[in-house]
Amino acid sequence: MNNSRFPSQDEPLSSSRVAYDFPVLVRQSVVRAFVWMTLGLAITGLTALFVADSNLLDFLFEHQGLFWGLCIGELALVWILSRNIMKLSIPVATGAFVFYSVLSGVTLSPIFIVYTGESIASTFFITAATFGAMAAFGYFTKRDLSKMGSYLYMALIGLIIATLVNLFLKSDTLMWIISYVGVLIFVGITAYDTQMIKSLVAESIGDEERTKKIALLGALHLYLDFINLFLDLLRILGRRN
């Protein structure tokens, strides 16, 4: 954020300038969150492609303990990062986000073995269109989505529990139910998270460091929304090799 857009201490604070600058600054900060999210997705995609096209994927298949260790580490990192990002310095928070994106690329690389490249590409574009539409709704709507968001996150906890249970049951029917419900949940959460980011940024305008951290936190939330929506849609629409 450019501090020159804020009046200096010696400059009169006109109401017309505040009215002009405030929505512009909010929009710029929200855009920053989406830029970081897009960068994270690009890093994840390139990492996944690299691992899938190299001997690293065979190595991970041969050492499944290592693969599951990476998955657990990925979950631990995102849990720690989402709860502590506001306490970290911007360089550390940025580095942690980039590292998480790389780690996600490694753990997601098997999808290139399971699904055809065409179905992965088509599902990605469907996900992008759906995500974009719901993000736009969340940004522009005047409706308060906080109550809906609370219900959606409670439903998400139930979905996670069902997913863990199905690791042992290995039920195809339950897998399909989880996938369809997951799409509905993450479509709604995308709109809620976008509105949340806009609201938090609006409350922090004037504090450049805080708005940058909120942008990173928002990018992490949006990244997770996109990835989970993509994976659920891929399970529904993807064609297996």
Per residue in 166-195, pLDDT (tens digit) is: 999 999 999 999 999 999 999 999 999 999
CA distances to 200, 211, 224 from 177, in Å? 34, 38, 20
Dihedral sign from CA coordinates of 190, 204, 144, 86: positive
Residues of the chain above pLDDT 70, percent: 92
Residue 115, beta-bridge partner list? 240
DSSP 8-state secondary structure symbol assigned to residue 115: B
> For residue 3, how far is the Cα from the chain centroid?
28
The pLDDT confidence band at residue 218, using thresholds 50, 70 and 90, is: very high
Q: Could you tell me which of 106, 87, 85 has the C-alpha nearest to residue 36?
A: 85
> pTM for this structure?
0.89
Q: Exposed (0-12), middle (13-18) or buried (19+): which is 210, by Cβ within 10 Å?
A: middle
C-alpha 191/C-alpha 153 separation (Å) is: 13
The pLDDT confidence band at residue 104, using thresholds 50, 70 and 90, is: very high
The pLDDT confidence band at residue 18, using thresholds 50, 70 and 90, is: very low
Q: Could you tell me which of 239, 164, 224 has the C-alpha nearest to residue 33?
A: 224
Burial 107-142 (b: 16+ CB within 10 A, else e): bbbbbbeebeeebbebbbebbeebbeebbebbbeee
The position carrying tokens 């065409």 is 118
Asked if residue 91 has pLDDT above 50, the reply is yes
Q: Average pLDDT of the chain? A: 91
| Six token digits for residue 132 | 């974009």
Which spans in the chain are helix H? 15-52, 56-62, 64-84, 90-108, 111-114, 117-140, 146-169, 172-204, 208-237
C-alpha 161/C-alpha 167 separation (Å) is: 10
> Where do the structural domains in the chain lie, given as residue ranges?
7-237
